[in-house]
Structure 1
């Protein structure tokens, strides 16, 4: 079996698996919708005073955007980040149901299996992000849908890297509960130190250092640029750093998967 064939088969398998899991589809939309409609509208009201001068000052804190638009552009990136990281749990389920053994003994290069799996999951995650963006447009008119496609390119690169990281972690684990604990432990600080909920320039100096080391920061910044026109860094620097990061994480995942044994 050629590498292209095995990649295509894994993409098809991951997409079909996602479409067949209705509960997963519903769940992946609940969290971002809650953040946007409840947290976004609630916090947005705190920065609205119905006074043109004060409202202008408030918007300056968010790059000239109203808070709901600022938050929504970040939540789109958060949707990709969360779904990508968590997708690694499917490797553990594949272990328990025996599918992983089949892929390990299949006449295909293991790198192509990882790549196909990552691309398949990334495509379904981008579909989620697209729908979330379209829904959010109703309450965040400042979003520029003309920038959705390039924003999704940033999201796709981020997704490939994080899916690979999730696969690398899951390869060495046997418990879905343990995997979820690790994911939640890592995700929470990365989300709050990425510029999703507030500008990183408003963080303490020590937190800004951590934020600049956080890969999610550059995905949020790049996607926000294309969706709103506002950014902290150069969008080209954002995408370059994401490409390097995703490449490194995918190489790590491939190496770990190549060393995996049937007994694991």
Structure 2
């Protein structure tokens, strides 16, 4: 167990040692605040009668999940494309594939926390329903989101041998997440046939669970959201590690 934790820490430390530009710490919070501004702007010209809460909150927290998961998806994709010669390093000093997954997750979580510290303060001001217990669940669930995102990136990218195709896969996955997962609009606002199709997408429930934690409001029953999120993680995490291991053995 100690060896595993040491390997996870080594992977994460490898990222933290990279120099961070001041602009990287500024533009992400500004982009996040811009998302909230867009949400308020859309709310002023559209009716949100199909949703129990304010559309600005619905839109903003949906996009926040999208930023978390798509960033994790790219992180997993970059491991496979070996843009930083990471796989070569693993071949020289082989370590647990799960340690790689958790190390990348830890590094990304700390990076997001650092970049979105100002947004965290904004969340506390914006949502009166946030308590210490709820904040703890949000942190745990955010870690889980990033973990599954990295695993999904590993899994999807192993089906391509080139960096270009791998990047295209990550791009299209991000588009599906943005437009077909209830990020921008509630699923209940769509026609019945479209609702049935989108309800087959597990990300609809994963995003809805995050909104429930932040706002106390969800489109679907909480038990359904939790069940789908857990089952998706139990499937995609082992699959991502398995595909990653197969890629290394080629």
Match of 1:106 among 93, 97, 120: 93
Distance 2:3 2:226 in 1: 31
- The answer to whether residue 129 in structure 2 is matched with residue 144 in structure 1 is yes
Structure 2 residue matching 1:88: 3-state secondary structure: helix
Work out whether residues 73 and 224 of structure 1, in 8 Å CA contact, stay in contact via their aligned partners in 2. Answer: yes
| Residue in 2 that maps onto 1:41 | 40
* Change in CA separation of 1:156 and 1:218 when aligned onto 2, cut-off 3 Å: farther
Distance 2:78 2:102 in 1: 15
Work out whether residues 164 and 249 of structure 1, in 8 Å CA contact, stay in contact via their aligned partners in 2. Answer: yes
Write the deviation string for residues 188-244 of structure 1: whole angstroms up to 9, x where unpaired.
232223222222111122321232222322222112112212112232432332122
Match of 1:62 among 41, 44, 51: 51
Alignment of 1:142-221 (within 5 A): 142=127, 144-146=129-131, 147-171=134-158, 173=160, 175-221=162-208
| Larger deviation, residues 120-129 vs 201-210 | 120-129
Following superposition, the deviation at residue 6 of structure 1 comes to: 0.9
Work out whether residues 104 and 110 of structure 1, in 8 Å CA contact, stay in contact via their aligned partners in 2. Answer: no
Return the TM-score normalized by structure 2: 0.82
Distance 2:22 2:162 in 1: 23
Work out whether residues 75 and 104 of structure 2, in 8 Å CA contact, stay in contact via their aligned partners in 1. Answer: no
Distance 2:180 2:97 in 1: 34
Work out whether residues 65 and 210 of structure 2, in 8 Å CA contact, stay in contact via their aligned partners in 1. Answer: yes
| Larger deviation, residues 226-235 vs 141-150 | 141-150
* Change in CA separation of 1:85 and 1:149 when aligned onto 2, cut-off 3 Å: same
Following superposition, the deviation at residue 163 of structure 1 comes to: 0.8
Q: Which runs of 5+ in 1 are unaligned?
A: 48-57
Structure 2 residue matching 1:226: 3-state secondary structure: helix
* Change in CA separation of 1:7 and 1:227 when aligned onto 2, cut-off 3 Å: same
| Residue in 1 that maps onto 2:8 | 7
Distance 1:112 1:44 in 2: 43
